[in-house]
Amino acid sequence: MDPITVATGVLTVLTPFLVEGGKAAARKAGEALWAALEKRFKGNPAAETALVDLKATPEDADNQAALRKEIRKLAEADAAFKAELEKLLAAAEAEAPGSVHIEVRDGAAAVGAGAQAVGKGGVIVGGSKTAAPAFDQRGQHVQEQTNVAGDLIKK
């Protein structure tokens, strides 16, 4: 994953964790990501401030953007940190399948609770709170989709 995708994934997990006070699906993954960020951000005033601000008001888009920027900058500069975040995001997906879904495309579209897509120029699009049904090119409802890479996506 590129650094902006990693940063977006982290916010996808952390925001519900902070807003919902650590409900079951977000608790373990959120705690692990939070601990990794606190450890890595120690001694970096801008990053520490972004983390504190997000904790205070996690639904604030400006706070999310500030933290995403700090995560991206550190992930670009530190391959080990980026790899650690990727590992934690994979664990979050394993803990609560379907809770983390990130796509990077020129025309970004995100559907479903927690879905986010990063479009051209790093524009981030968030999904709705309810999953939308999938339709084929004829407009018929389908139970499964295949993405461009050929991976099967179950609905």
Domain ranges of the chain: 3-99
Query: Would you state the pLDDT for residue 131?
Result: 42
Would strands 124-126 and 115-118 be described as parallel, antiparallel, or unpaired?
antiparallel
| 132 — pLDDT class (breaks 50, 70, 90) | very low
Considering the entire predicted model, what is its pTM?
0.57
Q: How confident is the model at residue 128 (pLDDT cuts 50, 70, 90)?
A: very low
Pairwise CA distance, residues 21 & 29, whole Å: 13
Q: What is the pLDDT of residues 32-80, one digit of tens each?
A: 888 999 999 999 999 999 999 998 998 888 999 999 999 999 999 999 9
Quote the CA–CA distance of 39 and 103 in Å, as a whole number.
28
User: And the tokens for 116?
Assistant: 């986010």
Nearest to 29 by CA among 83, 77, 88: 88
